[in-house]
Amino acid sequence: MTETPKEVRVRFAPSPTGRLHIGGARTAIYNWAFARANGGKFILRIEDTDPERSTEENTQVILRAMRWLGLDWDEGPEVGGPYGPYTQMQRMDTYTEALEQLKAAGAAYPCFCTKEELDAKREAAKAEQGGYDGYDRTCRSLDPEVAAARIAAGEPHVWRLAVPENHGPIEFDDAAFGHCSFPGDFVDDLILVRTDGSPTYNFACVVDDSNMKITHVVRGADHLNNTPKQILIYEALGKPIPQFAHLSMILGADGQKLSKRHGATSVEEYRDRGYLPDTMVNFLALLGWSLDGETTIIPRDMLCEKFSLDRITKKNAVFDETKLDWMNGEYIKTMGAAAFVDAIAPFMIEAGFVTAEDIAARHEWYEKLYPILAERVKRFSEVPEKIAFMFDGAKVTLDEKSVQKNLLKEGCRADEVLREVRAIMADESIEWACDPLQDTVGTLAEKLELKNKFVFQPVRVAVTGTQVSPPLFECIEMMKREDIVARIDYTLATVFGDEQ
């Protein structure tokens, strides 16, 4: 298959050693958006050459997180493509082929130095002020026949890159960091293939990116020091060098690198806390990139149209969870009732209030929760606690602090109010709907010569059990008349000794 030179091909290449970290998710978003903005291809590649930590289960965790974020890949696992397979352990033949190419060109040589020997040399170099602690190329001058004989005898060895002597500065233009230059001796003769025959990260990465025709490598700034090493491998293989863009670090509010001590760090944790995938894509996109320096709500279709590497900054980004909550709230306000119910369903079911079957059977009833809650929640995980009282039938659990403040406070006359309200709620001639019920109860303020709060707050406590709740009468409308009356009766009996 032959692409035109203008076709953008980018990749996201996670290692399946755990959950998809927020930093990795941002990298995936940038690659995905850049491909979409340029009509290119977004490739997902699994770098699983660490057999001790890489697992198929972790691969599936990453794929689930990618799907939840809505980051569809054009080539990769479960999709296929012209340059597969897309897991490194299934591409070992390509690394062998590349190594043979380097051997034939005299650009790779076997090294028989043991770990103990290398460690001793490194310690000696440290002891000598200004000593070079990289590999001293001991095996580079070995006679090829001698080296071949040692290999044939089964002597353990690695394969190293023969970095050209007197190589000039290693330079490249980075989309975020600008022109970068490393001295020629920055890189020693790095290992390409380990003693067990497995490729090192830098070697496998270059071979994969070359074979998959990757045009732009967009990744974290922690890989910046790997770039000169990889450029040397590209040069040795005679392959074109892609455009690089290294992304700034994501810091916690304390200015330190984002880690578990700051709270959640994986995509799945934020999903489980009740954030929308659109929110996460929008929020993470702004951690190191901007549309115009002002716009904060950027729908994914706009991101896919406007994303460009020249808007990436090298300044470290701060993960502001307060802003994330605000942004999620903004997305909730516009998502619509049906989608809202589907989003809160797992949290309601987990809380034990309802079953999936109940939600499916009464979807329209649950949709009425949307206008009540959309302006009042930042995360879906907040919903069960806010409306728990609506699922207790005739029972109400009275919060002692709310009772003291709103029912027993001297002069509030809450018992009178509740008896009047009980009569209104029991009166079937009054339509069981928010407005008529609220208007009728509202007349009690003038009748009893009380402020509105001394009428409505006792009702709120008697119905919900607490002094803070979503809009009261909108909730009452969704509940049963007999249950509301029973709750007021219970409150009058419990707090004021009325007989039920």
**What does the alpha-carbon distance between residue 460 and residue 465 come to, in Å, rounded to a whole number?**
7
Q: Cα 364–368–370 angle (5° rounding)?
A: 120
**What does the alpha-carbon distance between residue 248 and residue 218 come to, in Å, rounded to a whole number?**
11
**What does the alpha-carbon distance between residue 227 and residue 105 come to, in Å, rounded to a whole number?**
22
**What does the alpha-carbon distance between residue 500 and residue 494 come to, in Å, rounded to a whole number?**
10
Whether 213 sits among the annotated catalytic residues: the reply is no
| Count of other CB atoms within 10 angstroms of residue 419 | 13
**What does the alpha-carbon distance between residue 279 and residue 296 come to, in Å, rounded to a whole number?**
11
In angstroms, the Cα distances linking 486 to 441, 493, 495 are 17, 10, 14
Calculate Rg over the CA atoms of the chain: 32
- Token reading at 234: 């590209």
Is the Cβ–Cβ distance between 86 and 43 less than 8 Å? yes
Catalytic residue, candidates 41, 229, 260, 395: 260
Per-residue 3-state assignment (H helix, E strand, C coil) for the chain: CCCCCCCCEEEECCCCCCCCEHHHHHHHHHHHHHHHHCCCEEEECECCCCCCCCCHHHHHHHHHHHHHHCCCCCEECCCECCCCCCEHHHCHHHHHHHHHHHHHCCCEEEECCCHHHHHHHHHHHHHCCCCCCCCCCHHHHCCHHHHHHHHHCCCCCEEEECCCCCCCCEEEEECCCEEEEECHHHCCCCEEECCCCCECHHHHHHHHHHHCCCCEEEEEHHHCCHHHHHHHHHHHHCCCCCEEEEECCEECCCCCECCHHHCCCEHHHHHHCCCCHHHHHHHHHCCCECCCCCCCCCCHHHHHHHCCHHHECCCCEECCHHHHHHHHHHHHHHCCHHHHHHHHHHHHHHHCCCCHHHHHHCHHHHHCHHHHHCCCCCCHHHHHHHHHHHHCCCCCCCCHHHHHHHCCCCCCCHHHHHHHHHHHHHCCCCCCCHHHHHHHHHHHHHHCCCCHHHHHHHHHHHHHCCCCCCCHHHHHHHCCHHHHHHHHHHHHHHHHCCCC
**What does the alpha-carbon distance between residue 309 and residue 387 come to, in Å, rounded to a whole number?**
45
Q: Which residues are catalytic?
A: 260
